[in-house]
Amino acid sequence: MDGGSGTGQTREIDGLKTSLSRLLPALEWGREYHRGFLASDLLAAVIVTIMLIPQSLAYALLAGLPAEMGLYASILPLIAYALFGTSRTLSVGPVAVASLMTATAVGKIAAVGTLDYATAAIAMAMISGLMLLVMGLLRFGFLANFLSHPVVSGFITASGIIIGLSQLRHILGIHGHGDTIVELVSSLLHNLADINGVATLTGAAAIAFLFWARRGLAPLLLRCGLADRTAAIIAKAGPVFAILATTLASWYWDFGQRGVALVGEVPRGLPTLGIPSLDPGLWSELAVSALLISIIGFVESVSVGKTLAAKRRQRIDPNQELIALGAANVAAGVSGGFPVTGGFSRSVVNFDAGAETPAASIFAAVGIALAALLLTPVLFFLPKATLAATIIVAVTTLIDFAVIRRAWEYSLSDFIAVVTTIAATLLFGVELGVLAGILSSIGLHLYKTTRPHIAVVGAVAGTEHFRNIERHNVITHPNIVSLRVDQSLYFANASYLEDYIYRLVAEIDGLEHVILQCTAVNEIDLSALEALEAINHRLREQGLTLNLSEVKGPVMDALQKSQFLKHLSGKVYLTHHQAVKDRKPDEIEPYII
């Protein structure tokens, strides 16, 4: 008795540990942590920190927010994701697309540079975080399947173009605004006469250096005798070198007096924790935008996380990822940040640098915190043109026009979805762009399902296999038409099947039997059942039988609950071969098509 009780308690404790590990994956990797992991994670953290500092500043600029908010969004969110996330190497923080979407949404409520603008951005992070948490608790991880990869690629490509154009105003040192390509180009052309030569030279030099550093710095360092790992680390620090060089030049030649926009004073210190604005009016205005940011960020994060996990034969849990990203955004909201998500470039760097566990992100957060405490005074003279150059170079990796060609060559529906998404994003803004992508994907999918593929099939000689008569040399019988329906039957395609059968029956003389091969039919809803009943009734009136073959078990169970099988003019056969064998006349020769 005592032994049984002890075993039961042990099982309860093990079950509790398993549940806690699922909710807090840090408990799992924390138990396995050892000194070998520590060295790898620290090295990866150093590299990611070097990369994150300029990125955080740049994406705060893109979002229209003070530079320090970029740093704040890269401290607590990293720690929150490390505790709750299932990916060992995903690195969260501000990213280009989420920053652009934040600027677009918040810009409708308040003017850039005002306290209300920053307040709204912080509230946006909190709203997004709570939405993601709720979706995670409700196990809505399947939402990642509602955005096809071509649509996401098209949206990110168009967003990259808008981001690049939006940063040209900082490169040229002129005023500019707009959320669409038309507005941006028009605004830039209108102010083209006010170009600041010093800002343009600074930005152009930074862009040229960053492009060169991306490909040419590491080979140069290798030729100088540095080790591969050292050369790679230094090459990743290209944006840091650009910031240091242009900041020194700005201080020495007093760029501020020459009309160059500078970052200005950045408060030193860590973020102050607090609850964002709970104004119901503000939350209602931001709700739709926050939902779109949440979905796009989740899809992007899961895509990156799955890719990196597969390389190490690991897996991630989409439902837990929703919780982790929700916790990261809530952390951003309470620490004065703005919406964050998993970043592709920094996650790849984290992976390539050898990060073994999410502890690397925690160490990187410590590095960003030290930068916020110690390095902010030197940012006063940093030209905004340098940060704009960093953004422009970063988003070039997002632009993928090849997806249009691939979609055109492979699938017309995917091509339409991609082009619709890109065009809508460029012409109407990022929010309408992602909505257009979602709606076009769903609309095209629904259109395709309303017209299921139906093939007239015949027997392959010498076998019991049946194939499409338009693709293979097969045997058919003059009194039988065999149809293979390659999709489940539901209200949207029931009438299409009905019309197809009526049209086919009218075209064939001497027909006696219609056999539906239901190999690919996983479900028949009530509307489709009524259509089958109508087909059966009409065929019976014409002296024809309706037969079914290879009906799956769950579908058969559903049909048996109705009166359809009792009134069926023909039979239900286990195999299509048996159906044809039973219905063919022995005295009539088959056709070979």
Report phi then psi at 545, rounded to 5: -110, 150
For 375-490, where are the alpha helices, taking DSSP H only? Answer: 384-395, 402-410, 412-428, 430-450
* 446-471 mean pLDDT: 91
Give residue-wise pLDDT tens across range 353-407. Answer: 889 999 999 999 999 999 999 988 889 999 999 999 999 998 998 898 998 999 9
* 336-346 mean pLDDT: 92
Sign of the Cα torsion 275, 344, 365, 238 reads negative
Structure token digits, residue 209: 């250096």
Q: With pLDDT > 70 as the criterion, what percentage of the chain qualifies?
A: 95
Sign of the Cα torsion 278, 284, 285, 286 reads positive
Q: What is the pLDDT of residue 69?
A: 96
3-state helix, strand, coil in the chain (%, to 5): 65, 5, 25
Burial of 33 (0-12, 13-18, 19+ CB in 10 A): middle
Q: What is the pLDDT of residue 1?
A: 46
Q: How far is CA 331 from CA 324, 362, 523, in A?
A: 10, 13, 44
Give residue-wise pLDDT tens across range 523-540. Answer: 999 999 999 999 999 999
Q: What is the pLDDT of residue 2?
A: 53
Residue 453 has pLDDT above 90, yes or no: yes
Q: Residues 160, 423: contact at Cβ < 8 Å?
A: no
Q: Residues 309, 88: contact at Cβ < 8 Å?
A: yes
Nearest 5°: the CA angle 132, 53, 79 is 40
Q: How many CB atoms lie within 10 A of CB 84?
A: 23
> For the ranges 215-224, 295-304, 322-331, 578-587, which has the lowest average pLDDT?
578-587
Candidate ranges 137-151, 209-223, 330-344; pick with highest mean pLDDT: 330-344
* 466-477 mean pLDDT: 92
Residues 59 and 65: their CA atoms lie apart, in Å, by 9
Angle between helices 430-450 and 96-107 (to 10 degrees): 110
Residue 572 has pLDDT above 60, yes or no: yes
Q: What is the pLDDT of residue 47?
A: 86
Expressed in angstroms, the distance from the first to the final Cα of the chain is: 75
| Chain mean pLDDT for the chain | 90
* 420-431 mean pLDDT: 92
Structure token digits, residue 382: 């940093």
Q: What is the pLDDT of residue 481?
A: 94
Residue 147 has pLDDT above 80, yes or no: no
Predicted confidence band of residue 440 (pLDDT cuts 50, 70, 90): confident
What domains sit in the chain, N to C, each tagged with a CATH number? 35-441 (no CATH), 454-592 (3.30.750.24)
Residues 321 and 246: their CA atoms lie apart, in Å, by 39
Q: Residues 572, 558: contact at Cβ < 8 Å?
A: no
Residue 38 has pLDDT above 50, yes or no: yes
Q: What DSSP character marks residue 588?
A: S
